[in-house]
Amino acid sequence: MSGFVIVVDMGNTSTTVGLARAGRISGISHLPTRTTCRKDVTAVLTRLTRNRLITGAMLCSVVPQRNHLWLRELQAVSGRLPRMVHHRMKLGLRIEYPNPASIGADRLANACGAAYRYGSPVIVADFGTALTFDVVAKNAYMGGIIVPGLPLMTDYLAEKTALLPHLRLDRYHGIPRNLRAMPVIGKNTRQAMAIGARLGYLGMVREIFTRLQHTLKDRTVRLCATGGYSAWALAGCDLRVRIDPDLTLFGISRIYELNTSRENMA
């Protein structure tokens, strides 16, 4: 039986860890990026890898100052030097972008994973600290769009107003999960904020997708969404969107596989 590869997606707010084998992601855990210490990393990796054969590890990071902690611990549990996602790796698609080094590693992983799972053309909406849209067309990464994410919006409202509360949308239960059952008029401040976030970001996704679809001149372009708030924002909406929670980890594992296979054939 083949071994597992540890895949790590380190974002600005949250770090997601999982195990990849044969195109499947399992054992997913989440840690806060900025406050996680060595003991926390060791604990989650020990629990994840116990009694399993680990054949490698790959880190995808947009927080360089935290890389050393994860690379050291990944090497300790895997017994080999971890890899890091970057634009010079084999991605399974071309990059048509003026400065490839400036593309976030998570966006490369999303593009790689989406192109493999859904084909080209495809647009990935990633609901993280920022909401990013990445475009793959003619099997090439073309670029995308970046807007503030849902947690930035709610944090900013709380910080810059005297009376609006800090609202954790992922923990708020004042509106139903399914959009079709959600009221349109809020009956208290928190509910009004949550409805505004839900409808506002749905409208943003719809408008951006429509414009990108028009620019690509292809009505068959697919839309997929990932990231912690994707299901909250889009569940029950009228868009034809595939919500794919483990897309980034899958993309990381796919990049690992592509580059390992190339080395083994050399």
φ and ψ at residue 202, rounded to 5 degrees: -65, -45
Tokens of 36: 């996680």
Q: Which residues contact 112 (CB under 8 A, 6 or more apart)?
A: 91, 92, 93, 251, 254, 255, 258
Side by side, the strands of the sheet bearing 14-21 are 24-32, 14-21, 4-10, 54-61, 83-84
**Angle 105-118/247-265 helices, nearest 10 degrees?**
90
Q: Which one of the listed residues 106, 126, 244, 246 is annotated catalytic?
A: 106
Distance CA 239, CA 217 (A): 18
Distance CA 189, CA 264 (A): 58
9 given a catalytic annotation: no
Q: How far is CA 220 from CA 113, 121, 197, in A?
A: 18, 8, 28
Distance CA 235, CA 230 (A): 8
113: helix, strand or coil? helix
CA 258-260-263 angle, 5° bins: 110
Cite the active site residues.
106
